[in-house]
Amino acid sequence: MRHFLIDTDTASDDVVALILALRDLSIHVEAITVVAGNLPLDLAVTNALHSIEQAGTYAPPVYRGAGKPLLRPLITSEFVHGSDGMGEMNLPPPTLTAAPGHAVDRIIEVAAQYPGEIEIVTLGPLTNLALAVLKAPEIAAQVKQVTIMGGQGRGAGNMTPVAEFNLFVDAEAAQVVLNSGLPLRFVGWDCSTDETFITQQDIDHLMATGSARAAFCVRCNTTLIDYNARSWGKVGFDLPDPVAMIAALYPDVIREEIAAFCAVEHRSEATYGQLIIDEHRLLNRPSNASVCLKIDAARFKEILFERIS
């Protein structure tokens, strides 16, 4: 049994990622830690609890973490995910409640509990993980793998021309993580915008299954569907967090990946949050991360659809 810890700023695509992870029999999610990002912290915690209830399997403890980035004001994305982060579903309060204690402390504790075994998947800004490695640098040697939904690969950003949202919200935290010695894999927004994109045909397929869980996963992304139509002229929705989650669960879905020295720009306002990838080793620096560039879209959708329906 593999041991996972998931750090999330729970909005609609995070919800799908949490549900599919909790329904995967090959892993056990030891904890879910929550960070402010897509949404303010309390709302992100509420949505994490809703996700557990919708998964219908088991209930890992959920911990509140950082309510703001390390140095900058919080930027949220209700304009993408809805005021509730769930496509304006306006759900009643969850029956589950958050666990006592802080997410940063729990990350440190779980790393020590499963040295060499714990796998961390981050679905939001890297504030919690940065604080954990600053407080306990030894976890870098205890963690087996960190899969980060963040960055833009070789492509454009979705918050600025060069920056993806998660890294843009707290670029300083991302650079702390890159400096930490943790084993890092970036799976960027670009990996969810090609054949992995959930089309109208995919939506119809999910709805035709008759699964209430599949319908929930589509419904909570309604605002994202509207946003994609307005902003990109695309019908359907991207699922960057589930793409990263499935890459962590099943690394064989990765079709192209490079190891490189990476940094996150955190000084320039024009390029703040950009993931810099020294693909051609121009800086003569050792690799500190791998960057996923291509996912097997058919395999991704096969796993996703099976887990949520």
User: What does the pLDDT look like over 168-205, one tens digit per residue?
Assistant: 999 999 999 999 999 999 999 999 999 999 999 999 99
Confidence (pLDDT) at 31: 98
User: What does the pLDDT look like over 99-156, one tens digit per residue?
Assistant: 999 999 999 999 999 999 999 999 999 999 999 999 999 999 999 999 999 999 999 9
Domain range annotation of the chain: 2-308
Confidence (pLDDT) at 169: 98
Q: Is there a contact between 244 and 251 (Cβ–Cβ < 8 Å)?
A: no
Q: Over range 14-18, report the average pLDDT.
A: 98
Specify the DSSP element, H or E, that contains 218. helix 212-219
Kindly report the three-state secondary structure assignment for every residue of 104-171: HHHHHHHHHHCCCCEEEEECCCCHHHHHHHHHCHHHHHCCCEEEEECCCCCCCCCCCCCCCHHHHHCH
User: What does the pLDDT look like over 241-271, one tens digit per residue?
Assistant: 999 999 999 999 999 999 999 999 999 999 9
Q: Over range 154-166, report the average pLDDT.
A: 97
CATH class of 2-308: alpha beta
Q: Is there a contact between 67 and 74 (Cβ–Cβ < 8 Å)?
A: yes
Q: Over range 77-93, report the average pLDDT.
A: 97
What pTM does this model have?
0.98
- Beta bridge mates, 28: 3
Average pLDDT, the chain: 98
